[in-house]
Amino acid sequence: MSHGIMCTADAMTNDELIIYAKRAEASGIDTIWAPELFGRDPFITSAVLLGATSSIRVGTAIANVYARDARATKSAAYSLADGYGDRFDLGLGLSNKVGNAPRGHDWLPPVQKMTDFIDLYDAADLMFKSTGQVSRYLAAHGPKLMEFAADRLEGAYTYLQTLDFSATAKARLGDKRLHLMQPTVFVEDPTEARNAARRAIAVYMPLENYHRAWRERGFADSDFADGGSDTFIDALIAWGDRDKIVRRYAEHRDKGVDHIIIIAVKADLRTEAGWKQIESLVAAS
């Protein structure tokens, strides 16, 4: 199992991004992932991270397919692959109705949207010659999107899901790669750790698409009300000392996860001490 890390790029200056990239590369992390929210452009962020490093991979997790057309996405992806030694991975996603409404986009059925997007991406010819390779992954929870990822892409991401769901997702993906975005709270006290986890995932708690997925995993609405029950938090979040977190990662690996993307909570990655925690965790996993 390899390890990635989610880069909180919107909270950093450009100079801080460069320092972050160098520290991530030195820590043993395999891939830095740049998100797309309402701040930094994920492809420009990826260029900064790639330019500051020499061996670590960098990818988008995720680039929103509503934010740019398929040709523009392919152009950006292959420009990065061509410029930085095939170290770029393209992570795609649909976001959700709430996230896309401020962009002025009408919500389309997810499989239809992704099919149209990838068809256009595959058909797009680029004017510059590139021998680069770009692996593509899709943020997916539902079975239809997961099957689409297995059929058309190199794999999928899941987020805020249980061990059982990792096994289900891997069964649907077959030999394609399963990436798990894993919130990880570097706190040993149970009450403090769970409260930190609740704050970290609060933005997702009102979203109905997550509610559906959690209900399918056997949770009741009361489990994800009021920030989430202890049982709910413990099922979705890795927390505790290094060895406890390593055990949780190993459990997901045994269910078929190929790549853990660490979303670090309560580890200050502006400091050497924070990166020492990441380095120790990766070495022990």
For residues 130 and 60, the model is more confident at 60
pLDDT band at 99 (very low <50, low <70, confident <90, very high): low
Quick check: helix, strand or coil at residue 101?
A: helix
For residues 244 and 142, the model is more confident at 244
pLDDT at 121 over 90: yes
Q: 9-18, 71-80, 128-137: lowest mean pLDDT where?
A: 128-137
Two structure tokens written together for 144: 């239809």
Radius of gyration of the chain, Cα coordinates, nearest whole angstrom: 18
CATH 3.20.20.30 range(s) for the chain read: 1-139
For residues 75 and 96, the model is more confident at 75
Q: Cis peptide leading into 62, omega within 30 of 0?
A: yes
Which pTM does this prediction carry?
0.95
Two structure tokens written together for 149: 């990822």
Mean pLDDT of 78-97: 92
pLDDT at 47 over 70: yes
Say how many residues make up the chain. Answer: 285
Spatial distance between the Cα atoms of 155 and 132, rounded to a whole number of angstroms: 19
Spatial distance between the Cα atoms of 237 and 239, rounded to a whole number of angstroms: 6
Spatial distance between the Cα atoms of 182 and 260, rounded to a whole number of angstroms: 7
Mean pLDDT of the chain: 95
| Architecture of the structural domain at 1-139 | Alpha-Beta Barrel (3.20)
Spatial distance between the Cα atoms of 39 and 262, rounded to a whole number of angstroms: 21
